[in-house]
Amino acid sequence: MNWLNPPAPPPCDDSAPAAVRGARLPAWLLPQDWPRDPALRNAPALARIELADGRIARVKPEPPGAVEAPDTVPAWNAHGAPVLPGLVEAHTHLDKAFTLGRMGTVRPGLLGAIDALIEDRARWTDADIRARATRGLQWAWQAGTTHLRTHVDWFNGAMPPPAWGVLSALAHEWRGRLGVELAALAPLRFFADAAQAGELARQAASTGPHARLGGFVHTSNWDAGALRHLVMAAAEAGIDLDLHVDEELEPGAQGLATIARLARETGFTGRIVCGHVCALAAMPESQALAVLDAVARAPITLVSLPVTNLLLQDAVTHRTPRQRGITLVKEARARGIPLLFASDNVQDPFCRTGSLDPVETMAIATWAAQLDAPFDTWSDSICRGDWLQRQPAARPTLEGAPADLVIFPDADATGWPSRTARRQVLRAGRWLQTAVPAAADTADAPAPA
């Protein structure tokens, strides 16, 4: 396929099962009194998910041994396969995606990648941005993603860049298939002047409720006054924040601690998403934990980007990295801080690989951060889109939600996210025909009934 001229997303299959039975749902998605099944080594009992009018009407445990019994309605049997709700891509950069292939040599590390990107920007016509971003949206959609947030570089002060308009149009076009949100990614110096900070926040907010204000907060550009202007401008414009914070291994990085303090001092009522926060891993432990204690008291969600951080932190040519840049995900979770994993850059100078597949990101996080029970405990980190919003749910539930499910027929809950290439995806209760990545073997795929 020529990805510069991608086809329109394919239509959904017409068949709509009345139920998905034999579904192994993750423990985090089930009520606390959900029964355990001794036959499954005391894992959560399999679920019967009843669907109606494109939504999930009811979720109930299957009686032990009943999964293979005949059904009275057209039901699709997952036979115990892991099942998740629609996936969330919490942090990516569709304006930059798929640019690496046309670049020359890129200097290793974050700052080298930024230089290469600035050079490539001369080629960013509307058509170029649209073609690359559409490819990314299609990949995300095929992976089973229902919600995606992309950052967009703002490099002309308060003036929105061309990519902002292109991606806003794409967000509108993809409505109903993929909820797309945009976050303005501006250098911190653009907020040094309070009036310009206000104008930037108003410009971003005027785009619509799918827009967020953001910035790049790093020791190399540290300006506490500008950061205060940024937070206050967002509060005045009524726009939530999504920031790149402390993407470095500098123990003295002050971004996250300052944002947590500003949120409290200004009484910020929106949601503040802080991505990366790698510097926590380089700080003395007591200092890092004190920062996380402050974060837990603020309306802050953390997003860990393990792929790019593994690639960019401690990156020196011809030298094996010693520090890995994974932030303190377990310590954050222990404090009740909402934490998501996301892809970040895809096939651009910041990250040569990537597929906009949250499950691939989850696999890398599992290995890099040594996560226990990734399916039952951690898979919420690629599903809880509400953690990006102002009022996250107290407890997630499938009942009443759109019938968006991702089924992993080759996997089991113990080994997940291994063997997850093949997927059956339900969208609003209907099978998505192109859910299976092209490289996967589909010869023995169970046919939707």
Binding site for Zn ion (CB under 5 A): 344
Active site residue 119: no
What's the min distance (Å) between Cβ of 345 and Zn ion?
A: 6
What's the min distance (Å) between Cβ of 134 and Zn ion?
A: 20
Cβ-based neighbours of 111, under 8 Å, separated by 6 or more: 220
Between 23 and 94, name the residue whose CB sits nearer to Zn ion: 94
- Residue 279 token pair: 């510097």
For the chain, the C-alpha Rg in angstroms (whole number) is 22
- Residue 47 token pair: 């679920």
Residues 19 and 429: their CA atoms lie apart, in Å, by: 9
Q: Are 162 and 131 in contact (CB under 8 A)?
A: no
Residues 379 and 44: their CA atoms lie apart, in Å, by: 15
Residues 269 and 258: their CA atoms lie apart, in Å, by: 17
Between 19 and 351, name the residue whose CB sits nearer to Zn ion: 351
What's the min distance (Å) between Cβ of 418 and Zn ion?
A: 27
What's the min distance (Å) between Cβ of 108 and Zn ion?
A: 17
Between 95 and 344, name the residue whose CB sits nearer to Zn ion: 344
Burial 212-250 (b: 16+ CB within 10 A, else e): bbbbbbbeeebeeebbbbbbbbbbebebbbbbbbbbbbb
End-to-end alpha carbon distance in the chain: 30
Cβ-based neighbours of 68, under 8 Å, separated by 6 or more: 77
The single residue of 62, 181, 247, 360 carrying the catalytic annotation is: 247
Please, which residues bridge with residue 232 across strands? none
Please, which residues bridge with residue 107 across strands? none
Between 83 and 100, name the residue whose CB sits nearer to Zn ion: 100
Q: For the chain, how are helix, strand and coil distributed in percent, rounded to 5?
A: 35, 20, 45
Residues 103 and 93: their CA atoms lie apart, in Å, by: 17
What's the min distance (Å) between Cβ of 335 and Zn ion?
A: 23
Between 244 and 271, name the residue whose CB sits nearer to Zn ion: 244
Residues 279 and 222: their CA atoms lie apart, in Å, by: 14
Residues 436 and 444: their CA atoms lie apart, in Å, by: 12
What's the min distance (Å) between Cβ of 105 and Zn ion?
A: 22
Q: Tell me how far CA of residue 350 lies from CA of 93, 98, 114, 186, 322, in angstroms.
A: 10, 11, 8, 17, 19
- Residue 28 token pair: 């985090």
Give me the residue whose beta carbon is nearest to Zn ion.
344
What's the min distance (Å) between Cβ of 136 and Zn ion?
A: 13
Between 22 and 214, name the residue whose CB sits nearer to Zn ion: 214
Which residues participate in catalysis according to the annotation?
Answer: 247
